[in-house]
Amino acid sequence: MRINRIKFITELEKRDMTQKRLAELSGVSRATINYIKGGKRCTDEVGQKIAKALNVTVEEILED
C-alpha cells in the first residue's frame, strides 16, 4: 500500500501532530513513519494503524 505523502502530511498538520506522537499513538516506529512520509510503501496493517491514529479511513490517505 502506498499512502499519499501530501494527504499524510496534511492530516498530521491538521492535528498539529508530530511524527513522534503519531508513532506513539499508532504503535509504528518513527523510522517507518518517516519512510512513508518520504513516499515509500507500507504494509496494509501499518496503513490501518496510521489511519486509525489519525482518525481517518485508510482510503482517505491512500494514493489515487
The enclosing domain of 16 has a CATH number of 1.10.260.40
* Whether pLDDT at 46 is above 90: yes
The tally of domains found in the chain comes to 1
Pair 9, 37: CB distance under 8 Å: yes
Q: Which three cell numbers stand for residue 28?
A: 509504528
* Spatial CB neighbours of 22, under 8 Å, sequence gap ≥ 6: 12, 28, 33, 50, 53, 54
Mean per-residue pLDDT of the chain: 97
* Whether pLDDT at 64 is above 90: no
Its domain, for residue 48, covers: 5-61
